[in-house]
Chains A and B, each alone.
Chain A
Amino acid sequence: DAKTTQPPSMDCAEGRAANLPCNHSTISGNEYVYWYRQIHSQGPQYIIHGLKNNETNEMASLIITEDRKSSTLILPHATLRDTAVYYCIVRSGDDNYGQNFVFGPGTRLSVLP
C-alpha cells in the first residue's frame, strides 16, 4: 500500500508557482521522500528526493516539514509542459537492498494558459 496521500488533481496558471502537497504521516526515520512525474503516455521521470532538509535542483524544490509528516514539491514557474501526473513516494534510502518504489495514483497537475 502507498504510504503517501496526494490530492487527485490541481490546476496552476502558466508562469505561476505550482505547489504540490503530499502527506506521509507514517514515514520512518530512514525513509526518503521521492518525486517523479509522468507526462501523458510516457514513462515516469525522476524529479527530486530528500530526507529531511529542503532540496533544490534545476527542475524543482522540495520542502519537507520539520516533523517530516508532509512535504511540498514546488515548480517555481510552471509551463504548459509541466502538465503531468506527479507521484510522491516514500521509500528507504539508497542501498542495494532498498524497498521498491510504490507509485500511487498521484496528483494530476494541469497548467493552464
Chain B
Amino acid sequence: DGGITQSPKYLFRKEGQNVTLSCEQNLNHDAMYWYRQDPGQGLRLIYYSQIVNDFQKGDIAEGYSVSREKKESFPLTVTSAQKNPTAFYLCASSLGLGSYEQYFGPGTRLTVT
C-alpha cells in the first residue's frame, strides 16, 4: 500500500535533548512538508522540500532542522533550541509543491519534560 509513515506514534524526551522524527513516503512524491499542531489550533508549517537536497523554511522553522537526502525520506530534528517542543507533528507529501492534495501521515506526538 502507498502512503506516508511516521514513527514513532508517541515520543517522550527530556528537556535539552535533540530528537529526530521519521517520515517516509512511497508515493513517489517530489514535495514533502512538516507541520506542527498545538492543542485546539490549526497546523503551522515548519519546513518544506520541493525536491531532493533542497528545503525551505516555513513559518516556524526556529529550533528545527531537516534533511532531504532521499526522495522518500524527510526527517525532522527538534533541537534543544526549540522553546516549546511538546506538540503533535505531522508530515505530508504531494506530487509537486503546488499540488491541490497533500497526503498526511498519522503524526507523532512528542512530549518533552
> A interface vs B, CB < 8 Å?
2, 32, 34, 41-46, 49, 87, 92-106
Cβ–Cβ < 8 Å partners of A97 in chain B: 97-98
A101: nearest chain-B partner, CB-CB: B102
- Tell me whether chain A's interface is mostly helix, strand or loop, or mixed: loop
Q: Of A34, A41, A45, which one neighbours B100 at CB under 8 angstroms?
A: A34
Q: Once the chains bind, are A94 and B98 in contact (CB under 8 Å)?
A: yes
- Using known A-B contacts A46-B101, A97-B97, A98-B98, determine if residue A2 contacts B107 with beta carbons closer than 8 Å: no
CB distance from B9 to the nearest CB of A (A): 9
Q: Is B35 an interface residue (CB 8 A)?
A: yes
Stretch at the interface among B11-19, B36-44, B74-82: B36-44
CA distance A103 to B46 in the complex (A): 13
Q: Once the chains bind, are A41 and B48 in contact (CB under 8 Å)?
A: no
CA distance A43 to B44 in the complex (A): 13
Q: Once the chains bind, are A87 and B42 in contact (CB under 8 Å)?
A: yes
CA distance A2 to B35 in the complex (A): 15
Cβ–Cβ < 8 Å partners of A104 in chain B: 42
Cβ–Cβ < 8 Å partners of A49 in chain B: 100
Cβ–Cβ < 8 Å partners of B105 in chain A: 43
3 closest A-B pairs (Cβ-Cβ)? A43-B104, A98-B98, A103-B43
- Using known A-B contacts A93-B98, A98-B98, determine if residue A45 contacts B42 with beta carbons closer than 8 Å: no
Between A and B, 16 residue pairs with Cβ closer than 8 Å are A2-B42, A34-B100, A41-B109, A44-B43, A44-B90, A44-B104, A46-B102, A49-B100, A87-B42, A92-B98, A93-B98, A98-B98, A99-B98, A100-B33, A101-B102, A103-B43
